Amino acid sequence: MRVAIVVAICILGWGNPALAGAPDPTIDTSSTPAAGAEAIPAAQPTSSAVNGPEQIWNWHIQNTDIGQADPSFTAKYSGPQSLNHKGEVRETVTLDLFAGVRLWRGAEAHLDGLMWQGFGLSKTFGIEAFPNGDAFKYGTYTPYLQVARLFIRQTIGLGGEQEAVPDDQLTLAGKQNISRLTFIIGRFSALDIFDHNSYAQDPHTQFMNWAMMANLAWDYPADPAGYTTGIAVALNQPKWALRYGFFQMPRDKNSFTGDDQVFQWKPMGSFGPFLCEWGMMAEFERRYSINSHPGAIRFMPWLNEAHMATYHAAIPILEAHGVGADISAARAFRYKYGFGLNWEQEVAESVGVFSRLGWNDGREESWTYTDVNWTASLGTSVKGDRWHRPADTFGLAGVISGASRENQKFLEAGGLDILDGDGALTYGSEKVVETYYDFPIWEPVHVAVDYQFVSNPAFNRDRGPVSVFGLRLHWELQG
């Protein structure tokens, strides 16, 4: 019955809709806060912009280099997927080449060629709210190449007032109706469409932590780099929007999809049964303003199906065979569902606050993102206008996340999930605080310094706390 309810909600959403970092034209940007974020620019329509020529094609390049270090910390024990308690230094490099072309009226095609190299701390194990948004779950010493995005977007105007569309990584400059219906089909990230937040979205320019780029409790469909094939539909109106998406899930846990055999070098991945491995979500967005300060709230139910084990079925296998035992025998095609709430509010000029809340049913193993079953975050972003440096951004945020009782028992028995696996567990909710300061050294190059404090990493009170120090270099070019 619960599954049927979630399916019904998602179907209703259809009837009415980077790792991210590019503007989503399904969102009414005229009502979005002018924050220190590039993900959803607050473009205000003007007569000159709306009446200007449409851009036929464009290209953009972005490069982001992130280095992070964690000094040694106290740990009573370590497991196969623990954060290294002796401390380490790791780096990641990403390079994207974006290209877009206008096809016919209302239609655009976009390509994103991605190169990545490097590792997260401890090969991206041991922290749920992981500190580096560019630390993909498949690290590499030699660069990997991937067609991360390749999609067509068709926008159908419904009449009324128009707004300007910016020249950006996944949009062509021009104009569009605020009231519109948009279809997107191809290969892209679910985060390109859903769970946007002006202040916490893009680890290349904003907060670096995974919890600030997406809802930790949402096991969103993706390969280890964050991309998959799918379709999205969005209905936008001046004060609200409805969105629906349906995406391919990887056949195996935390693995590449069948598309990656074609769209990636080195090729890997495989297709599963299409009707049994998928993820879908619906999102309702309501925009408003308080004393001329814009804000938005978004509610998103989601439902996945994949060949997952339940924690309850996996625990006896672990008890019989020990830490890290193969739990394949406990797997079957099952549903997993959850909900997310996303809020942003400008409270003063150049100052915004944001929050995400998330929950999932907590009975099945994680498949693509994190092992979190509930989460709550709160933060603020401040532009540097107040100290006469308008291109600077300061951010401060905290997130608390936890595991269901069944998940706790699974980890206590020695289970390994996507990010955690200390071999044992003394449970405590994971708490992370992040602060960063981003500033230009010259256009178009930005540098950011970042600090994160992690208490009870991977839900374990027997390990930590951990301090993570970070430095980011980011630049963009366009033509």
Residue 424: give its domain's CATH number: 2.40.160.180
Question: What range does the domain containing 313 cover?
Answer: 2-43+56-478
Q: Which residues of 408-437 are buried (b: 16+ CB within 10 A; e: fewer)?
A: bbbbbbbbbbbbbbbbebebbbbbbbbbbb
- Cα–Cα distance measured from residue 239 to residue 13, given in angstroms and rounded to the nearest whole number: 17
Residue 320 falls inside a structural domain: yes
And the tokens for 302?
A: 């989601």
Q: Is the peptide bond before 25 cis (omega within 30 degrees of 0)?
A: no
pLDDT reported for residue 40: 28
**How many CB atoms neighbour CB 145 within 10 A?**
14
**How many CB atoms neighbour CB 390 within 10 A?**
12
Give me the half-sphere count of Cα atoms (radius 13 Å) on the Cβ side of residue 220. Answer: 30
And the tokens for 35?
A: 């924050």
Using DSSP bridges, classify how beta strands 57-70 and 140-157 pair: parallel, antiparallel or unpaired: unpaired
Residue 64 falls inside a structural domain: yes
Per-residue pLDDT of 365-387, as tens digits, reads 999 999 999 999 999 999 999 89
Residue 51 falls inside a structural domain: no
pLDDT reported for residue 52: 63
Dihedral class, residue 69 (left if φ above 0, else alpha if ψ from -120 to 50, else beta): beta
Residue 50 falls inside a structural domain: no
And the tokens for 138?
A: 């498949």
Please list the residues that pair with 473 across neighbouring strands.
65, 447
Which one, of 219, 330, 225, 328, lies nearest residue 277 by Cα?
Answer: 219
**How many CB atoms neighbour CB 469 within 10 A?**
15
pLDDT reported for residue 51: 57
Residue 422 falls inside a structural domain: yes
Q: Please give the tally of structural domains in the chain.
A: 1
Structural Rg of the chain based on CA atoms: 21
Angle between helices 405-412 and 311-321 (to 10 degrees): 10
- Cα–Cα distance measured from residue 326 to residue 319, given in angstroms and rounded to the nearest whole number: 12
pLDDT reported for residue 443: 85
Alpha-carbon dihedral sign for residues 7, 8, 10, 11: positive
Report CA 305 to chain centroid distance, whole Å. 19
**How many CB atoms neighbour CB 2 within 10 A?**
10
Instruction: Identify the segments of the chain with pLDDT beneath 70.
Output: 1-52
Residue 447 falls inside a structural domain: yes
70 neighbors 94 (Cβ within 8 angstroms) = no
Residue 48 falls inside a structural domain: no
pLDDT reported for residue 70: 97
459 neighbors 373 (Cβ within 8 angstroms) = no
Residue 448 falls inside a structural domain: yes
Helix and strand numbers (H, E) in the chain are 5, 19
